[in-house]
């Protein structure tokens, strides 16, 4: 990849399919980000906990974390986003949790994003509404979960309140909290002088 590709930034928007009102985020990443790191960023900006498998679908190809064969897809850590997505307006899919099947759509909104005040190469610009809790049971389960939380007479109200510690608010989104987590991720994933290997 050319140096100018690595220095470029993409502005992306991601949203969960089949949920209204929409749960979405707008965020910036380096154009040269690998798909495995893009997965990490999506987990943070959306509010998932990286507890399940995932895959990207770009064109007719699938990219996942640990494919055992070509039929399982391609290893996402080997591919950079800018080599796969180039044109503004291009969309691709991101699936998280093969059981609950949380389908997301991602669009490249700006292929040459520039902001002189950008402090880090990864930042969440905006968003709306809280991500569903993990293992809530896909879209129908999420709707039932929200319904039960709002209705103190619902038969599952108490159990769901206990499950989420009474703290889930479907309307909550705080970009400052997300960006704090992104900064920690950048700090933890920085390059080191030495790898994990032992003394030779």
Rounded to an integer, what distance in angstroms lies between the CA atom of residue 113 and that of residue 8? 7
CATH of 3-129+173-188, one of 3.40.50.300, 3.10.290.30, 3.40.1000.10, 3.40.50.2300: 3.10.290.30
Domain with CATH 3.10.290.30 in the chain: 3-129+173-188
Per-residue pLDDT tens listing for the chain (200 residues): 444 444 799 999 999 999 999 999 999 999 999 999 999 999 999 999 999 999 999 999 999 988 877 778 999 999 999 999 999 999 999 999 999 999 999 999 999 998 887 778 899 999 999 999 999 999 999 999 899 888 888 888 888 888 888 788 999 999 999 999 999 999 988 888 877 776 66
pLDDT at 200: 61
Q: Give the bridge partners for 124, in sequence order.
A: 27
Q: What pLDDT is recorded for position 164?
A: 82
Question: What pLDDT was estimated at residue 162?
Answer: 86
- Is the whole model's pTM more than 0.85, yes or no? yes
Interatomic CA distance for residues 119 and 26, integer angstroms: 16
185-188 — which CB contacts under 8 Å span 24+ positions?
Answer: 185/40, 185/41, 185/44, 185/122, 186/120, 186/121, 186/122
Reported as type and span, the H/E element at residue 27 is strand 24-30
Helices (H), 27-97: 35-46, 81-84
């Amino acid at each position: 990849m050319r140096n100018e590709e690595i220095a470029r930034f993409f502005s992306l928007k991601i949203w969960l399919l089949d949920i209204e009102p929409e749960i979405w985020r707008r965020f910036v990443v380096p154009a040269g980000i690998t798909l495995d790191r893009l997965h990490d960023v999506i987990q943070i900006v959306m509010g998932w906990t990286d507890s399940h498998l995932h895959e990207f679908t770009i064109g007719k190809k699938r990219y996942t974390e640990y494919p055992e064969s070509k039929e399982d897809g391609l290893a996402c850590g080997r591919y950079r986003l800018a080599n796969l997505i180039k044109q503004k307006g291009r969309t691709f899919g991101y699936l998280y949790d093969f059981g609950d099947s949380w389908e997301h759509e991602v669009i490249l909104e700006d292929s040459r994003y520039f902001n002189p005040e950008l402090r880090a190469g990864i930042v969440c610009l905006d968003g709306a509404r809280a991500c569903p809790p993990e293992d809530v049971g896909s879209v129908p389960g999420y709707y039932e979960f929200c319904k039960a939380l709002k209705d103190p007479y619902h038969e599952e109200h108490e159990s769901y309140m206990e499950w989420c510690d009474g703290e889930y608010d479907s309307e909550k989104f705080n970009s400052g909290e997300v960006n704090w987590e992104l900064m920690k991720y950048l700090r933890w994933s920085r390059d080191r002088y030495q790898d994990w290997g032992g003394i030779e």
